[in-house]
């Protein structure tokens, strides 16, 4: 067989359809490479979902994906999942993907998540009434499962959850169940998606959580009440009293927002945490203050000495003792080196530095180790060379902070002026602006008609 005959044979075999490895996903489209990539992507999404809820891959209904257009086309893209009832009691799950230059894999993943969850529901309830309910699959469940998968893979999404929780922006359970995704702007949508993620993670952390969540998903088509009533029924430990579900949710939020040792901080956040770790705090005690002030001072670099030099000793003491404690920076070690219980106070700082070293930016870790050794020197009373060490570390920290700020400025400039592909991050704002600029529709009331006539005449 000649090469030309082989090419013609391959073209004849390629009927513009590809099927994934599990045979569940059937992809139609002109580009064979795009079809293959979509097949691999779909299998990855399904594998992540089944792993999250601990379900074996025993699918019943295939998912058909129609690829139309191309990602190089200058047009908006859309993903439209649909479910069709077929003769004989079967179903057809289909995604119509209209591709354009604004195509995002996250949109395809959300559509897949919708149909995969629907397949689980229909597989458990293959009767004709399964599709009679409006909106069987709630938005929070689909969104929450997708974000929970990201949470387990990407620690940046975990840090985002912690940041939103600390700002008090996380929604309550009632708000999660009542919110509509299509009515949100980009900020409220981020808070909503993060809240849904937290709720799914909290449910999975319950005893037999994955099994109960599978039961909840399967029961959505046959349950006659609201989704929150079904949640209380399937997860009885979350609603033992009227307000117990919100209390349980609040406790779970605090637990999920706690950072782990794998959440590496950025350089600037590491700097802020390092400053807190280097604050030396002593409880207020008049005898200790007198004993410390009686000691000769070799240097006037401490804040107490500076204020006493300015004739404000009493004011300095009252400000330093604010909150019933004395607070110093590490470079003021001569002010507190003779305090009683010095080793006990500095031990707290050493432990905080140790914990920070696990999450600190890599360039800061050697400096944290140096600070730990300096604390040990202060406890032993050996102050030789401490000033030089502190000065050297301070210069390195300033250099890292300056470089980090320069890098952020450059990345912001590059994103604003050099990117050739739109990120889509501001599409909601552009859509709102276009709506505001659109002329108002004509009005047919008598007053409007009269004003139009007057305007035309004059």
Domain limits for position 335: 267-410
Q: What is the DSSP letter of 311?
A: T
395 is a domain residue: yes
447 is a domain residue: no
Residues of the chain with pLDDT under 70: 1-14, 71-76, 126-135, 155-161, 166, 237-243, 259-262, 284-323, 419-433, 435-436, 440
417 is a domain residue: no
pLDDT value at residue 156: 61
d(CA 318, CA 371): 29
d(CA 350, CA 340): 17
Q: Are 147 and 58 in a shared domain?
A: no
Which of 256, 285, 312 marks a domain boundary?
A: 256
Q: Are 187 and 307 in a shared domain?
A: no
Q: Are 114 and 38 in a shared domain?
A: yes
Degrees to nearest 5, angle at CA 267 with 372 and 160: 115
Q: How many residues does the chain have?
A: 458
Q: Are 33 and 106 in a shared domain?
A: yes
What is the Cα gyration radius of the chain?
31
355 is a domain residue: yes
E strands within 86-141? 91-99
- In total, how many domains does the chain have? 3
Sign of the C-alpha dihedral computed for residues 280, 285, 286 and 287 taken in this order: negative
pLDDT value at residue 52: 92
Q: Are 249 and 360 in a shared domain?
A: no
Which of 90, 115, 131 marks a domain boundary?
A: 131
Element containing residue 26 per DSSP (H, E): strand 25-28
Which of 83, 102, 131 marks a domain boundary?
A: 131
357 is a domain residue: yes
290 is a domain residue: yes
Enumerate residues 6+ apart whose C-beta is below 8 A from 128: 85, 89
Tokens of 350: 């050493």
86 is a domain residue: yes
Q: Are 237 and 275 in a shared domain?
A: no
pLDDT value at residue 290: 45
The Cα-based distances of 106 to 27, 113, 424 in angstroms read: 18, 10, 12
Q: Are 228 and 322 in a shared domain?
A: no
Q: Are 181 and 275 in a shared domain?
A: no
Q: Are 309 and 373 in a shared domain?
A: yes
230 is a domain residue: yes
Q: Are 219 and 238 in a shared domain?
A: yes
Q: Are 312 and 365 in a shared domain?
A: yes
Q: Are 232 and 310 in a shared domain?
A: no
d(CA 95, CA 426): 26
pLDDT value at residue 25: 95
């Amino acid at each position: 067989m000649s090469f030309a005959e082989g090419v013609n044979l391959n073209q004849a075999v390629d009927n513009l359809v590809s099927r994934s490895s599990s045979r569940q996903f059937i992809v139609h489209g002109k580009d064979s490479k795009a079809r293959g990539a979509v097949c691999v992507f779909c299998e990855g999404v399904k594998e992540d979902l089944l792993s999250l809820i601990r379900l074996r891959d025993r699918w019943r209904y295939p998912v058909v994906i129609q690829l139309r257009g191309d990602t190089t086309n200058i047009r908006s893209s859309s993903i439209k999942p649909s479910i069709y009832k077929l003769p004989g009691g079967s179903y057809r799950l289909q995604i119509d993907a209209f591709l354009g230059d604004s195509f995002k894999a996250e949109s395809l993943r959300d559509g897949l998540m919708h149909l995969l969850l629907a397949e689980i529901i229909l597989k458990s309830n293959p009767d004709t009434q399964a599709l009679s309910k409006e909106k069987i699959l709630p938005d929070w469940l689909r969104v929450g499962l997708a974000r929970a998968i990201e949470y387990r893979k990407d620690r940046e999404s975990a840090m985002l959850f912690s940041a939103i929780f600390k700002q008090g922006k996380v929604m309550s359970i009632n708000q999660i169940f009542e919110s509509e995704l299509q009515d949100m702007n980009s900020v409220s949508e981020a808070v909503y998606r993060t809240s849904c993620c937290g709720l799914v993670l909290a449910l999975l952390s319950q005893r037999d959580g994955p099994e109960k969540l599978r039961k909840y998903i399967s029961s959505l088509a046959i349950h006659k009440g609201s989704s929150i009533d079904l949640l209380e029924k399937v997860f009885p430990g979350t609603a033992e009293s009227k307000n117990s579900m919100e209390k349980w949710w609040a406790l779970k939020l605090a637990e999920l927002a706690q950072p782990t040792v794998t959440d590496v901080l950025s350089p600037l956040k590491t700097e802020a945490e390092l400053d807190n770790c280097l604050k030396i705090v002593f409880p207020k005690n008049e005898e200790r203050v007198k004993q410390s002030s009686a000691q000769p001072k070799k240097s006037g670099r401490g804040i107490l000495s500076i204020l006493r030099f300015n004739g404000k000793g009493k004011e300095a003491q009252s400000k330093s003792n604010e909150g019933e404690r004395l607070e110093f920076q590490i470079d003021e070690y001569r002010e507190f080196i003779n305090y009683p219980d010095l080793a006990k106070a500095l031990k707290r700082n050493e432990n905080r530095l140790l914990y920070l070293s696990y999450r600190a930016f890599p360039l800061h870790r050697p400096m944290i180790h140096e600070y730990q050794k300096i604390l040990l020197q202060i406890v032993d009373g050996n102050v030789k060379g401490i000033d030089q060490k502190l000065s050297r570390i301070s210069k390195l920290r300033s250099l890292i902070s300056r470089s980090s700020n320069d890098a952020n400025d450059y990345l912001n400039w590059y994103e604003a002026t050099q990117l050739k592909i739109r990120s889509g991050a501001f599409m909601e704002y552009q859509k709102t602006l276009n709506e505001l600029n659109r002329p108002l529709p004509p009005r047919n009331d008598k007053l409007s008609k009269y004003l139009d006539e007057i305007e035309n005449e004059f």
